[in-house]
């Protein structure tokens, strides 16, 4: 069972959720909204770069914060 990272499009909270099946409805634990967006994990984004395995960088190098601004959450 994979753990996915999500951003709530209502309250802009970021959270992780253990997804047991593909038809599972994921809701924000802070506000209960079902309008959430699955995020790319930092491993998927940084895993093929020139850094040593397991090393990630957060926040630097431009972009809109935690998700590079692509989710529309405003961070």
Q: What is the C-alpha separation between 56 and 37, in angstroms, rounded?
A: 22
Query: Residue 65 domain-assigned?
Result: no
Compute the average pLDDT of residues 12-23: 91
Query: Residue 31 domain-assigned?
Result: yes
Query: Residue 21 domain-assigned?
Result: yes
Query: Residue 36 domain-assigned?
Result: yes
Which residues span the domain enclosing 13? Answer: 3-46
Query: Residue 38 domain-assigned?
Result: yes
Query: Residue 53 domain-assigned?
Result: no
pLDDT at 22: 83
Q: With H, G, I as helix, E, B as strand and everything else as coil, classify residue 33.
A: coil
DSSP H stretches of helix in 1-74: 42-46
Query: Residue 55 domain-assigned?
Result: no
The strand order across the sheet containing 14-18 reads 14-18, 3-8, 36-39
Summarised one tens digit per residue, pLDDT across range 20-52 is 888 899 999 999 999 999 987 665 555 555 545
Query: Domain tally for the chain?
Result: 1
pLDDT at 60: 43
- Look at 70 and 23; give whichever has higher pLDDT: 23
């Amino acid at each position: 069972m994979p753990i996915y990272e999500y951003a709530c499009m209502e309250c802009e909270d970021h959270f992780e959720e253990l997804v047991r099946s593909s038809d599972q409805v994921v809701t924000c634990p802070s506000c209960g909204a079902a309008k959430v967006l699955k995020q790319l994990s930092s491993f998927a984004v940084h895993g093929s770069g020139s850094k040593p395995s397991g090393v990630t960088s957060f926040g630097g190098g431009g972009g809109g914060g935690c998700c590079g601004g692509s989710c529309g959450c405003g961070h």
